[in-house]
Amino acid sequence: MPSSSILYSAAPYHIISYGTLLGSEIFQSFIAGIVAFRSLPRPQFATLQSALFPIYFAMQTALPVLLALTYPAERTAIGTTASSISGVLEPNNRLHVLTPLLTTLLCGAANMVVIGPATTNCMKERKHQETRDGKKSYDAGPQSEKMQALNKRFAYLHGASSLVNMVGCIATVWYGFYLGERML
C-alpha cells in the first residue's frame, strides 16, 4: 500500500488529469458525438451538443493548465528536475511537454471562445431562416440563397472546430507518449 505522502505528490493528480483529458477527448470525439448524431433527431442532437460543447471545450482548456501545474519532478542520476510550471518551461521539456500542452490548451480555447460560439450563432441563424423559409436547413430540394449561405458557413465552422479538436487530441496523445517514456 502506498504511503500517505503520495497524496501530497503532484504525480497522481497529473496522471488523473491526463487520463480525464484524453478520455473526454476520445469519448466526445469518437463515441458520444457519433452515437448521439445517429440516435437523436437533429433538433435534439443540436440541443445536446450545444449544452455539451462549452463544458468539453472548457475541460480541454483547463486540464492542460492543471497538467502544467502538477507536472512532477523527475529523479535522475545527478539530481531532481524541476516540477510544475518551471519544469514544463525547462529548455529540454519545451518540445515534448510545453508544446503539446500549449497546443491542446490553445485548441480548446479557440473552440471555447471563438469557433464554438460562432457555430452556435450560425445554428441559431439557420433556425430563424428555417422559420422564414418554412423549410428545414437539411431538407432536400432548393434552399433559399440565405439558407445556402448559412449552410455553407455552418459547414465551414463545424469543419474548423473538428479540425482544431483533432489537433488538440493529437497533441494530447503526443504528450501521453512522453509520459509513457518517463515510466520506462
Each residue's pLDDT tens digit, 56-98: 999 999 999 999 999 998 887 888 888 899 999 999 999 999 9
| Per-residue pLDDT at 157 exceeds 90 | yes
CA distance 93 to 86: 10
| Per-residue pLDDT at 125 exceeds 60 | yes
**Residue 88 grid coordinates:** 514544463
Residue type present at position 138: Y
CA distance 97 to 159: 27
Contact present, 69 and 133 (Cβ < 8 Å): no
CA distance 20 to 27: 10
